[in-house]
Structure 1
Amino acid sequence: MPTRDINSEIIEGLYTEALVLAEDARAAFDLRLTEGAVQPDDLTRVALSIEGLRTTTRLMHVLAWLLNQRAYLAGELSELQLERSGPLPDEREADADNLARLEPTTRALIEESERLHARVARLDRDWRSNRTSATPVEALHGRIAQAFARY
């Protein structure tokens, strides 16, 4: 088993941060009309919907990745199972035109979710690039490449 730079304290800290951001995002992008609230125009509502979907999807991907890490660290997933769960999906950045329509606090929340995703993506990339165990298919590819290199 390769050494891991990811430990439970890092994962738990990121998990807590992601949960708080997910709750903040739920509140920020709730489009139900409340009494006395300023009603946004149609384009602002569309921008809120689009960026709300992007932000919550980004946070759900982060949470899923962190839950897999927690399960691995707790011994509930093997390293092979963790590898098979796949990398953290690429992030879809917020649209600048949409951001311009949103309140500063909402923009800050979106930017914080992007920073969290970037930090977790770095952990995922580093872990995947440093792993030493090859899957059976990768090992077979290596043996085939070695066999043909002789000729």
Structure 2
Amino acid sequence: MSARDINEEIIEDLYSAALMLADDARAAFDLRCEDTSADPDDLTRVALSIEGLRATTRLMHVLAWLLNQRAYMAGELSEQQLERCGTLPEEREADADNLARLEPSTRALIEDSERLHARVARLDRHRRSQVVAATPVASLQGRIAQAFATG
């Protein structure tokens, strides 16, 4: 099995996991189903709104990154297009005070989304490091660094 096949399998597995988490997040953070008679200043409701937005945004970033990878592997995006549009945005971690106000199942969902983002971020960093290392300028810089290395 080639490295490309392994990458495709990893991307597909992560994509499936991200879709399932996104569906769970949609259900967990759908405030239309909540009791609307609660005080609008209720800090728990505010915390749920804030962390719901963070979690769904995090998951949408992951899904977008994975879709770009799938498109590249299918030949629908060039390397240049992937470089321009295929970088995963930085993580915005959940607020500890907000998390403390939420139910354990909701906290677990948020933590799952953070772990998924971290896994995809590692893949993104690895992919970007390979691209940088493959450029002629990076190769020349590496040779210069080796030539002047002290040791």
| Bin of the TM-score, shorter chain as denominator length | 0.7 to 0.9
TM-score by length of 2: 0.80
Task: Say if 2:48 is the partner of 1:45.
Answer: no
Q: What is the identity percentage for the equivalent residue pairs of Structure 1 and Structure 2?
A: 76
Q: Higher relative CO (CA 8 A, sep ≥ 6), structure 1 or 2?
A: 1
Task: Say if 2:13 is the partner of 1:21.
Answer: no
Structure 1 residues 69 and 86, CA gap change in structure 2 (3 angstroms): closer
Matches of 2:99 and 2:5 in 1, distance apart? 35
CA contact (8 A) 1:59 1:113 kept: yes
Structure 1 residues 53 and 88, CA gap change in structure 2 (3 angstroms): same
Residue 121 of structure 2 aligns with an amino acid whose one-letter code is A
Unaligned runs of 5+ in 1: 147-151
CA contact (8 A) 1:33 1:39 kept: no
Matches of 1:114 and 1:121 in 2, distance apart? 10
Name the counterpart of 1:149.
none
Residue 27 of structure 1 aligns with an amino acid whose one-letter code is A
Give the helix-richer structure, 1 or 2.
Answer: 2
Task: Say if 2:127 is the partner of 1:124.
Answer: no
Residue 23 of structure 1 aligns with an amino acid whose one-letter code is D
Name the counterpart of 1:8.
8
Where does 1:137-148 land on structure 2 (aligned, <5 Å)? none
Matches of 2:102 and 2:38 in 1, distance apart? 13
- The structural deviation recorded for 1:33 is 3.6
Residue 11 of structure 2 aligns with an amino acid whose one-letter code is I
Matches of 2:90 and 2:4 in 1, distance apart? 22
Matches of 1:6 and 1:126 in 2, distance apart? 15
Alpha carbon RMSD of aligned pairs, Å?
2.5
Where does 1:1-151 land on structure 2 (aligned, <5 Å)? 7-34=7-34, 42-131=42-131, 132-134=133-135
CA contact (8 A) 1:88 1:121 kept: yes
Structure 1, residues 77-125: CA drift from partner, whole Å, max 9, x if none?
A: 1111111114200100000000000000000000000000000000000
User: How many residues matched?
Assistant: 136
What secondary structure does 1:7 align onto?
helix
Name the counterpart of 2:149.
none
TM-score by length of 1: 0.80
Higher deviation after alignment, 91-100 or 6-15 = 6-15
Unaligned runs of 5+ in 2: 145-151
Matches of 1:9 and 1:32 in 2, distance apart? 37
